[in-house]
Amino acid sequence: MSSKVHCELCPTECVLENYEIGGCRTRMNKEGVLYSLVYGKPCAVNVDPIEKKPFYHFLPATTAFSIATAGCVLGCKFCQNWQISQASPEDTDNRELPPADVVRQALFHQCRSITYTYTEPTVFYEYMYDTAKIARQHGIRNTMHSCGYIKEKPLREIAKLLDAADIDLKAFSEEFYSRICGGRLRPVLDALVVLKEEGAWLEITNLVIPTMNDDPKLIREMCGWIAKNLGPDVPIHFSRFFPYYKLKDLPPTPWETMKEARDIAREAGMRYVYIGNIRSEGENTYCPACNRLLIERIGYFVKQNHIMKGTCRFCSKRIAGIWS
């Protein structure tokens, strides 16, 4: 009898021989049973401002207890956390932190939410799921920052425990996903629609990389798809690229490119468009009705907030998001 197993967590769908480890580096076939190698073994544990995730329309000025294990389902050449995402669990410095302890620590640090982040939470799916379940029982919200490269069934299950998700939409191009990330675009678009259907608060991050995905036509297509399929209230974060990992030969994204991306998104009808990884007024939230400044941010910190009970303090327009 064969002891091969077929992993059905992410669209890569690895078929693993006995004692073989998946492409994510975190799941191993041991005598016909698939095991997680990272359950309860985070390599990154921090208390972060929620703005760092980035979530700009979800409990502003609160802290998120943030965890990650080694591994990733993709292999992006521009990864900003490659030291842990492109590493195996035996190569990272891990802690023993079972789900109940994660929640206990989040409560101790008075965090309103737990974020599964830094690397790719799909690779520590079982750990995230069990932690999220306990967190819910204690009134702590769950959020994830993910590349969205996950199959529908596991996503629908975890989405029921998620209050918010920030998905990296890396480019609106199958060719880019295949050549630069080692994945496909279609499953990510499907995941975005599933998250919307399941009712999780959604924000999208797009890292703008000079010459790779900064073509205005590509950005226009992406924003058009978001407006049509997810609606104009989904915040888009255009994040500035810095040369890391395998794309060290490229310069940081120029300010003009970032501004152009924001203009394109606004033209497509998107109401909340941000520029990140660079200090500017692009970090602030403005009312889409009266254009007044609602949330002023400096880096990850909120300087002023004029959103009252989910509405603009000046004109009473409802501002999409989770505010309390």
Which residues in this chain contact other proteins in the complex, by CB under 8 A?
Answer: 2-9, 15, 27-28, 30, 32-37, 39-40, 96, 98, 125-127, 129, 151, 153-154
Contact partners, residue 217, CB within 8 Å, separation at least 6: none
Residue in 274, 14, 84, 282 with CA at minimum distance from that of residue 166: 274
**Which CB, 15 or 290, lies closer to other proteins?**
15
**Which CB, 21 or 320, lies closer to other proteins?**
21
Smallest distance, other proteins to C-beta of residue 201, A: 24
Smallest distance, other proteins to C-beta of residue 185, A: 22
Smallest distance, other proteins to C-beta of residue 293, A: 45
**Which CB, 7 or 87, lies closer to other proteins?**
7
Question: CA 30 to CA 146: how far, in whole Å?
Answer: 27
Question: CA 132 to CA 127: how far, in whole Å?
Answer: 8
Indicate the DSSP class of residue 236.
Answer: E
**Which CB, 24 or 79, lies closer to other proteins?**
24
Smallest distance, other proteins to C-beta of residue 178, A: 24
Smallest distance, other proteins to C-beta of residue 33, A: 6
What is each CA distance from 150 to 9, 27, 36, 73, 81, in whole angstroms?
A: 6, 14, 16, 9, 19
CB atoms inside a 10 Å sphere around CB 232? 17
**Which CB, 98 or 231, lies closer to other proteins?**
98
What is each CA distance from 251 to 46, 171, 212, 242, 248, in whole angstroms?
A: 29, 18, 11, 7, 8
